[in-house]
Chain A
Amino acid sequence: MSPSQGPVKKLDDKFVDKIGKFVADIKNGKLKGSNNVALSMVTLLENIISESQHATAYELLSLVRSAGRRVAAALPHQLAASNVARRILRAIRDENRASANQSGEASGESLQRLVLATSARRATIGTTHHDLREPLRDHIAELRTELESSSSTVCSAAREHVHADELILTYGASALAERFLRTAASRRYKLILAEGTDVQESHAMAARLSAAGVSVTIISSAAIFAVMSRVNKVVVSVSAALGGGAALLAGGAHAVTQAAKYYSVPVLALAPLYKLCPIHASDDSHFNTLIAPTTAIPYENHEVGDVHVYTPMYDFAPPDHITLFITNLGGSSPSYMYRMLSELYDPNDYTL
């Protein structure tokens, strides 16, 4: 039996406290940025694994899964945290398979398996009672290194995509996009920065890039369509890349990708792989959350007390709006993202 079908494992109180602290840190703003969230999730799960009493594959799987579920329920829009849990679940499955000498790929379905009729040989969980903690430690260390280096790996591709004298457009402030554009600074390109929902942040980013030697022009987001015809490339960083090749971007970015599509301007989406989620966009409103409207209307404006202001956190970009995802494993077209999914996660863990 796979733990996904079994009842939800009840977590020890000490683990619940740990998860509670992790969640509180994010909610209070102590922990910011998806990369930091992903890294602390690794630490959290590592602690939980090393302090657990049992270390069989089955135990560990249910432990990590219920921790992942708990975090996902508390922080539905921190998709990176769930992705890390899925990565570790996959590592446990791989280790279990290795220790039980079960060969073959992950338990995913394929025509090949169908035709070879090998259903009886599928890897089972719980057949072995090895202590998996020791080998898992390597996997976790590997995952941590990958997370730490992912943004620099993505940015190292910058000089391949940005060329001299090109006009690049980016939207809003993003640490990853900023680093990417800074890496490409030696190319002497021109940058148009369209103000995102947080105007001050956008201006600060423009100032930093300008100091780094990039020629930056700031435009208001209303002027995106007007300048798009002259733009050579659009660079945006994604909040999440979805399995079908769609992406969640910062609120307001749909207007950018839409305009880019109209003028056939290539859109490069920066997507380190911890942002890749095995969910499909059945309805874009599923993923969206509304955030505090301070960026749109400051609290000081008393006269707008009766106005309802909605500031959605994300925008949804369908697969045909994106030309290329730049991941830490290189460039990948949207229609190929499903392949990345099956490389990183086990199909049984798509729903935690």
Chain B
Amino acid sequence: MKKEEVQEIFLKIMKEEEDVSAGVAAIRTLLLVIENYKVTTVRELDLNLQLAVEAMKHCDQPVTAISSGCELFMRFITFAKLDVKSFEECEQIMLQRGHIFLNELLEARGKVAKQAMAFIRDGCKILTHSLSRVVLQAMSEAAKTNKRFKVYVTMSCPDNSGELMHKQLVAAGIDATLILDSSVGYIMEQVDIVMVGAEGVTESGGIINKIGTYTIGMAALELKKPVYVLTESFKFSRIYPLNQKDLPNEFKYLSSVLKSGKDLSKQHPLVDYTPPAYITLLFTDLGILTPSAVSDELIKLYL
């Protein structure tokens, strides 16, 4: 198995299907790896998967979601390989369960959107940051039920992903306004709630998300606006950062930047860490959780 082949599969999924999140794409790639590269022992399979995970982390894509998705998948593999005798049998069960697992993940976004529906009230103003597919879906579904609300979307430098979010919101018939990242403080007094997605959720219940989320969280707390995070549970990951510096470099910078050997302090980080104190509730496919419930879920899984 070659690194480039895995990267190719992964990037193909990412490119062809705009609607799929990096975590799901990573898990699908891993399933394809099990399917396509025939091995004869569990050890070999494990090595193969580890190699694939490494390969995907060096794809010049945001790594946070990939890493938590893969971690969950590896955990899943560990559970699966315990309960059968022959390897062929084991592989079959892995694939079969893997597809159930994947389906559950694909359903997750709809479940999250449903949870958040009740919180989007008629006539409210919402501030959102960057592009989040699950926030987009929740808002589109709320709009379909004839709720009228206004959305402010930050431009979200450096990749201006907010522009795409804005375009899609307008296409869904929602009254959306694109604002500058620097006008978050200005707009905060007008909004009723803040709704953001997440690239990863840490064990403390904080989130890792597009740079600027922490700033929004601080401004929202200062003006006592609730901050709701919409996220699928496969983004829960077992890291416990205490500050921005604790975030692994591979989360903060693209792999091409890391490889180039440039002085990182001169580079723009892509994500920041928002501590749980700034988050009111997390809407996940496991239900509506308070930040402290995240560690509970993770402990149940990894104990």
Q: Give chain A's interface residues, CB within 8 Å of chain B.
A: 108-112, 114-117, 119-120, 243-245, 280, 282-283, 319, 335-339, 342, 347
Not counting A115-B101, A337-B290, A347-B287, a sample of 5 additional A-B residue pairs whose C-beta atoms are within 8 angstroms of each other reads A111-B233, A111-B300, A114-B101, A335-B293, A338-B287
A-B contact pairs, 16 of them (CB 8 A): A108-B287, A110-B286, A110-B300, A111-B236, A111-B286, A114-B234, A115-B72, A115-B75, A116-B79, A117-B76, A117-B98, A245-B290, A280-B281, A335-B290, A335-B292, A338-B287
State the Cβ distance, B119 to closest chain A Cβ, in Å: 4
Query: Scoring B residues 275 to 293 as 1 if CB is less than 8 Å from chain A, else 0, what string do you get?
Result: 0000011000111111111
Closest to B118 in A: A282
A119 and B100 within 8 A (CB): yes
State the Cβ distance, A170 to closest chain B Cβ, in Å: 26
Closest to B296 in A: A339
What is the CA–CA distance of A2 and B206 in the complex, to the nearest angstrom? 34
What is the CA–CA distance of A220 and B163 in the complex, to the nearest angstrom? 55
What is the CA–CA distance of A338 and B296 in the complex, to the nearest angstrom? 11
Enumerate chain B residues within 8 angstroms of A243, measured Cβ to Cβ.
288
Q: Say yes or no: is B47 at the interface (Cβ < 8 Å to chain A).
A: no
Enumerate chain B residues within 8 angstroms of A116, measured Cβ to Cβ.
76, 79
What is the CA–CA distance of A244 and B118 in the complex, to the nearest angstrom? 14
What is the CA–CA distance of A281 and B76 in the complex, to the nearest angstrom? 35
> B-side binding surface: helix, strand, loop or mixed?
helix
Partner of A244, one of B104, B105, B290: B290
> A-side binding surface: helix, strand, loop or mixed?
helix
* Given contacts A117-B76, A119-B100, A119-B104, A111 and B290 within 8 Å (CB-CB): no
A339 and B293 within 8 A (CB): yes
What is the CA–CA distance of A116 and B280 in the complex, to the nearest angstrom? 29
B121 and A338 within 8 A (CB): no
Q: Say yes or no: is B298 at the interface (Cβ < 8 Å to chain A).
A: yes
Enumerate chain A residues within 8 angstroms of B100, measured Cβ to Cβ.
117, 119-120
Enumerate chain B residues within 8 angstroms of A119, measured Cβ to Cβ.
100, 104
A117 and B104 within 8 A (CB): yes
Enumerate chain A residues within 8 angstroms of B118, measured Cβ to Cβ.
280, 282
Q: Say yes or no: is B297 at the interface (Cβ < 8 Å to chain A).
A: yes
B300 and A117 within 8 A (CB): no
B287 and A109 within 8 A (CB): yes
Closest to A115 in B: B76
A112 and B301 within 8 A (CB): yes
Q: Say yes or no: is B97 at the interface (Cβ < 8 Å to chain A).
A: yes
What is the CA–CA distance of A241 and B75 in the complex, to the nearest angstrom? 36
B301 and A115 within 8 A (CB): yes
* Given contacts A111-B233, A114-B233, A244 and B301 within 8 Å (CB-CB): no
A111 and B101 within 8 A (CB): no
What is the CA–CA distance of A263 and B281 in the complex, to the nearest angstrom? 26
Enumerate chain A residues within 8 angstroms of B121, measured Cβ to Cβ.
282-283
Closest to A109 in B: B286
Enumerate chain B residues within 8 angstroms of A110, measured Cβ to Cβ.
286, 297, 300-301
Most chain A CB neighbours (cut-off 10 Å) among B76, B288, B298: B288
Closest to A108 in B: B287
Enumerate chain A residues within 8 angstroms of B234, measured Cβ to Cβ.
114
Enumerate chain B residues within 8 angstroms of A347, measured Cβ to Cβ.
287
B72 and A280 within 8 A (CB): no
What is the CA–CA distance of A114 and B284 in the complex, to the nearest angstrom? 13
Enumerate chain B residues within 8 angstroms of A337, measured Cβ to Cβ.
290
